[in-house]
Structure 1
Amino acid sequence: MTSFQFTKMHGLGNNYIYVNQMKEQLPEEELSEIAIRVSSVYTGIGSDGMILICPHCCTCEDAHFQQ
């Protein structure tokens, strides 16, 4: 599994893993597996999901959400 730095934040009963991808990006083909494994309380640190902080790629205001 890929090694990376993250921050876990919680509030109002929800926990999320934040990954800063501004300088170093996780392999796109592994993102789903990484999110599932680190979010699990059995194989990871446990969370409701993983949020990627990515470089801005266009001039419009947008966000991409995937479940």
Structure 2
Amino acid sequence: MSRVVRIADDAYDCAIRYGSSLSEGIRVMDALIHELRLKGDTVFDQKAIERMIRSAVRDEIEAAVYRG
């Protein structure tokens, strides 16, 4: 299953550095974050990042629904 969402160009560029496609880049970033959690290496606030990602995704979904 796939979805069409709008993302900022800089976010796309960031994800593409990690994989050959946006989806692959996101998967790689998720795996890296998971790996850091397992090691206990935290140089950033994981919960804050998670909240930002969820908020961005929620905003895009809401925008798509209301444009519908």
TM-score by length of 1: 0.30
TM-score by length of 2: 0.29
Q: Which has the higher helix share?
A: 2
Q: Which has the larger radius of gyration?
A: 2
Q: Which has the higher strand share?
A: 1
- Of structures 1 and 2, the one scoring higher in RCO (CA 8 A, sep 6+) is 1
